[in-house]
Amino acid sequence: MNLILAANPFTPGQTGTPEAVLFWILAPLAVLAAVSMIFVKKAVHSALLLAWVMITLAIFYIAEDAPFLGIVQIVVYTGAVMMLFLFILMLVGVDSSDSLVETIKGQRVMAMIGALGFAVLLIGAIGRSYTGFAGLTAANTDGNVEGLAQLLFTRYVWAFEVVSALLITAALGAMVLGHRERSSERPTQRELSILRFRPGSKLPGAPLPNPGVYALHNAVDVPALLPDGTPDPSSVSRVLKARGDVLDTKAFEMHTIEEGEDESK
């Protein structure tokens, strides 16, 4: 079921020209993206490049008469799995970039030799592999999804069930791993109150003041003013402070009555 690209008739053992064109455009890009992926410093960039490779592969799947897998590749892999990656990257720190200096002696050389040797052997083996070309036209007569379903629920039903068990186990495992064990009792409200009002307590007795009371600015990045007119830095989110997005508080400090112009107005 060559939806888009496969042109009939084609030379036996060969794909159609449109597919060849597609391949020769996308394959180098995929290789380039993959190589870049392992050489860029930032993990986010790696993730984006990998997403690109995956989309390329999805296109290839569709071109290879596997539209179901192509769609799944985009939805599940590029969509869900890569988002999970990005999510975790966020948790771990988006900005953290690797140093690309190798610390283990001989690792690079050995890696290159090993991987290139592996690649050469594989490619050499492909040359000797099965050279026939059956095509999936016959297999996909009832539709690709229907064909796959038929196999999945007949010949591969056992593997299917096992894999479902594996998925559940993985979900449970992730929950167990993500769970943080409390080492002490959760403090009660009463205990927290006592803690707050104890002399020398670092916690504020009252709730923190809300940031920003000035309409002339986006209030969140402006610290609140205390009754004595001084600004309270603790009222601004730490994130903003870290980002350097807090406005200078000086501008909003209350001037004394004698100096104030607003009062007189």
Partner 1 sequence: MSPNNYLVLSALLFSIGAIGVVLRRNAIVVFMCVELMLNAANLAFVTFARLLGNLDGQVVAFFTMVVAACEVVVGLAIIVTIFRSRRSASVDDANLLKY
Partner 2 sequence: MEATHALASGTSSLLVWLIALPALGATILLLAGRRSDKWGHLLATALSGASFVVGLVELFKMLSRDGETRGVSQHLFTWINAGSFNVEAGLLLDQLSICFVLLITGVGTLIHVYSIAYMEHDHDRRRFFSYLNLFIAAMLLLVLGDSFLNLYVGWEGVGLASYLLIGFWNQKPAYATAAKKAFVVNRIGDMGLSFAIMIAFTAFGTVSFQGVANHAGPEHKQIMTWMGLALLLAAAGKSAQFPLQSWLGDAMAGPTPVSALIHAATMVTAGVYLITRSNFVFDSAPTAQLMVVIVGVVTLLFGALIGTAKDDIKKALAASTMSQIGYMVLAAGLGPAGYAFAIMHLLTHGFFKASMFLGAGSVMHGMNDEVDMRKFGRLRLAMPITYITFGLGYLAIIGVPPFSGFFSKDKIIEAAFNAGGPRGWIIGFAALLGAAITAFYMTRVMVLTFFGQKRWADEAHPHESPKLMTAPIIILSIGSIAAGALFAFGSSLQHWLEPVVARGFVEGEPALQPIVVSIMALVAVALGVALAYIKYVRVPVEAVAPTNVSIWTRFARRDLLQDAFNEAVFMRPGQYLTRALSFFDRKVVDGAVNGTGALFGGLSVRVRRVQTGYVRTYALLILVGAALILAAMLAARI
Which residues within the stretch 155-184 sit at the binding site for partner 1 (CB under 8 A)? 155-156, 159, 163, 166-167, 169-171, 173-174, 177-178, 180
Cβ closer to partner 2: 124 or 200?
Answer: 124
Sign of CA dihedral 64, 4, 79, 47: positive
Q: How far is the CB of 27 from partner 2 (least distance, A)?
A: 23
Closer Cβ to partner 2, 90 or 119, answer by number: 119
- Residue 102 interacts with partner 1 (CB under 8 A): yes or no: yes
Closer to partner 2 by Cβ: residue 118 or 197: 118
Q: What is the rounded CA–CA span in Å between residue 20 and residue 15?
A: 7
Q: Which does 128 bind (CB under 5 to 8 A by kind): partner 2, partner 1, none?
A: partner 2
Amino acid at position 121, single letter: L
Identify which of residues 118 and 160 has a Cβ nearer to partner 2 in the complex: 118
Binders of partner 1 among residues 116 to 145 (CB under 8 A) are: 116, 118-119, 122-123, 126-127, 129-136, 138-140, 144
Q: Say which residues have a Cβ less than 8 Å from residue 257's Cβ, sequence separation at least 6.
A: 263
- Of the residues 4, 7, 152, 192, which one makes contact with partner 1 according to CB under 8 A: 152
Residue 196 is a binding residue for partner 1 (CB under 8 A): no
The amino acid at residue 69 is L
Q: Which of 31, 76, 122, 170 binds partner 2 (CB under 8 A)?
A: 122
Q: Give every CB contact of residue 65 below 8 A, 6+ residues apart in sequence.
A: 1, 2, 6, 135, 136, 137, 140, 144
- Locus of tokens 């100096």: 259
Q: Are 30 and 19 in contact (CB under 8 A)?
A: no
| 68 contributes a contact to partner 1 by CB under 8 A | yes
114 in contact with partner 2 (CB under 8 A): yes
The verdict on 193 binding partner 1 (CB under 8 A) reads no
The DSSP H or E segment spanning 224 is: strand 224-225
Report the distance separating Cα 68 and Cα 156, nearest Å: 17
Cα separations (Å) of 213 from 54, 196, 236, 245, 246?
A: 49, 25, 12, 17, 14
Q: Is 64 in the site for partner 1 (CB under 8 A)?
A: yes
Considering only residues 14 through 43, tell me which ones interact with partner 1, judged by CB under 8 A: 14-15, 17, 19-20, 23-24, 27, 30-31, 34-35, 37-38, 43
Phi/psi at 225 (5° precision): -100, 135
Residues in 224-263 that interact with partner 1 by CB under 8 A: none
Q: Does 107 engage in binding with partner 2 (CB under 8 A)? A: yes
Tokens (6 digits) for 122: 């594989």
Query: CB–CB of 236/249 below 8 Å?
Result: no
Footprint on this chain of partner 2 (rule: CB under 8 A)? 104, 107, 110-111, 113-115, 117-118, 121-122, 124-125, 128
